Amino acid sequence: MSDKTGKIFHGARLRLARTFQGLTLADLGERICASRQYMQRLEADPTVSPSSEMIQVLAETLQVGPKFFFEAVRGELQEEVCHFRKLRTTPLYLRRKALASGTMFNSIVDYLAAAFDLPNVDILPGSGKSPENIERAAEKCRLRWGLHIDAPVNNMVRTVERAGAVTTTFEGVSPDIDAFSYSYSRPIMVRNTAKSSTSRARFDIAHELGHLILHQGIESDDPGLEDEANRFASAFLLPRAGFLREFPRSSRLSWTNLFSMKKRWGVSIQAIIRRAYDLTLLGAVQYRTSNIYISRNGWKTAEPCESDIPMEHPEVVPSAMEMLAEQGVYAEDMAQELGLSVPILERFTIPITAPPPQREGVKIVSLERRRSKQAITNHSG
């Protein structure tokens, strides 16, 4: 149903904002002193429209602008196009919250892509899922992107963003979701801020890259896909040419040497041990005893030397936000145009630049009029 201006209230947008905030129908109803049944009717019945006062209450509660409810849902993320870590054990409501976050983030990506030339997408699907084909797919990516075939990747986030992906973090989704990825107008990779391990964060990005290359168009609940993505991540971060040369070969493992490898290659000890096993540098017995040793030392949850591996952060979105600020367009302007709020932008760890104290006469220029199409590029290195 439309309001006095003729604009149509979209219940799907109310459901999107509610799910993004992690609220049930009953939760939202309780917060605004309305029944669950009324909330459900607002979301599902197009003939029901809230009053102007109720719209203001909903907007304030859900941290969106009133205009948010009067635009159709665009870029809605569906579960079948996502690759979730821990998909089978993650409750449905948490997956829906992550999907709502993805839909919100898609609107931000669309906004920035309309304003700037983001890096061209250069992530091509691979063929074949055998271990050898996965190895070759990882090597092909390295060669295509100008990376040495036997040297560490200095910055995994920067590498995938140069290839056209956008990385981000969804704060407050759930520690049960390690990471996930999906293809929208460009590949999107999401890390969980709850994970403090820098080496595992790098592996997560490489894992999601594996999904994007190996599993485009494939249903994401096949457990074998996770093993394939792990194999790709290992092959990409620890290319066999360099790994075969550097892995210490002896009847007994030198943990000192392994930790040196960890710091050089930026991967966890567990990933190094698994890579050695996959390349038959370790037998089944030595692989098992190594993992027992890792477990007894508590390294499955907190490995030593993590501080020697720098945490990597998204660069494309922060660079775009910085360029917008240089043009006099700030986060609050973008939020207003999208019908969102600065607190929602902050949930995606988007850097917020405060506008000058006084902006007399400044108007928010529409996206079409200020479309500059400057190129967003990553830093070198």
pLDDT, mean of residues 304-317: 94
pLDDT confidence band for 363 (50 / 70 / 90) = very low
pLDDT confidence band for 249 (50 / 70 / 90) = confident
What is the rounded (10 degree) CA torsion for 220, 225, 226, 229? -110
Spell out a b/e string for 200-228, using b for 16 or more CB atoms within 10 Å of the CB, else e.
bbbbbbbbbbbbbbbbeeeebeeeebbeb
Is the per-residue pLDDT at 297 higher than 50? yes
In whole angstroms, give the CA distance from residue 278 to residue 271: 10
Stretch among 59-63, 177-181, 240-244, 343-347 having the lowest mean pLDDT: 177-181
Stretch among 59-63, 230-234, 351-355 having the lowest mean pLDDT: 351-355
In whole angstroms, give the CA distance from residue 172 to residue 346: 11
Is the per-residue pLDDT at 118 higher than 80? yes
pLDDT score of 226 = 87
In whole angstroms, give the CA distance from residue 36 to residue 145: 52
| 96-114 tens-digit pLDDT | 888 999 999 999 999 999 9
pLDDT score of 269 = 97
Bridge partners, 202 (sequence order): none
In whole angstroms, give the CA distance from residue 301 to residue 330: 40
Bridge partners, 82 (sequence order): 182
**pTM, full prediction:** 0.88
Which of 378, 370, 374 minimizes the C-alpha distance to 330? 370
- Whole-number average pLDDT of the chain: 88
Q: Is residue 353 a contact partner of residue 331, using CB atoms and an 8 Å limit?
A: yes
| 133-152 tens-digit pLDDT | 999 999 999 999 999 988 99
The set of residues, in sequence order, having a beta carbon less than 8 Å from that of 276 and lying 6+ positions away, is 243, 247, 282, 287
* ∠ CA 132-144-133, rounded to 5°: 10
Share of the chain above pLDDT 70, in %: 87
In whole angstroms, give the CA distance from residue 88 to residue 85: 9
Domains with residue ranges and CATH for the chain: 11-70 (1.10.260.40), 77-381 (no CATH)
The set of residues, in sequence order, having a beta carbon less than 8 Å from that of 23 and lying 6+ positions away, is 31
Residue ranges with strand state E in 170-289: 179-183, 187-191
8-state DSSP, 71: S
Element counts in the chain: helices (H) and strands (E): 16, 6
HSE-CB for 231 with a 13 A CA cutoff: 19
Tokens of 13: 């947008």
pLDDT confidence band for 361 (50 / 70 / 90) = very low
